[in-house]
Amino acid sequence: MFPRSILTLKSLISLNMQSNQLSTLPSTLSTDLPKLEVLYLGNNKLEGNIFHPTLFNIRELDLNNNLLTSMYG
């Protein structure tokens, strides 16, 4: 499970959540972390579609070694 306490860090720019067995991301990720630019999510259990249309500030994204089928809605 994604730690909700991280979502209170409004000025966070970089987040490394690799190897945490995450299967989902919070739908409020981009609104809760509006300054987030770097997101590392490799080696988790994310599956299906990981499309978040509001993740427009992300400049660097690592999704390696997950179970994703699509990044588009």
Which residues form the domain of 59? Answer: 4-70
Number of C-beta neighbours around residue 50 at 10 A: 19
| pLDDT value at 73 more than 60 | no
| 0.75 exceeded by pTM | yes
Q: How far apart are CA 12 and CA 30, in angstroms?
A: 11
Q: Give the residue, 49 or 54, on which the prediction is more confident.
A: 49
Query: Each residue of 10-51: pLDDT tens digit?
Result: 999 999 999 999 998 888 998 999 999 999 999 999 988 777
Query: What are the residue ranges of helices labelled H in the chain?
Result: 29-32
Quick one: which of 66, 35, 10 has its CA closest to 25?
A: 66
Q: Is 73 helix (H, G, I), strand (E, B) or coil?
A: coil
> What string of H, E and C letters represents the secondary structure of 7-20?
HHCCCCCEEECCCC
In the chain, the number of structural domains is 1
pLDDT at 23: 92
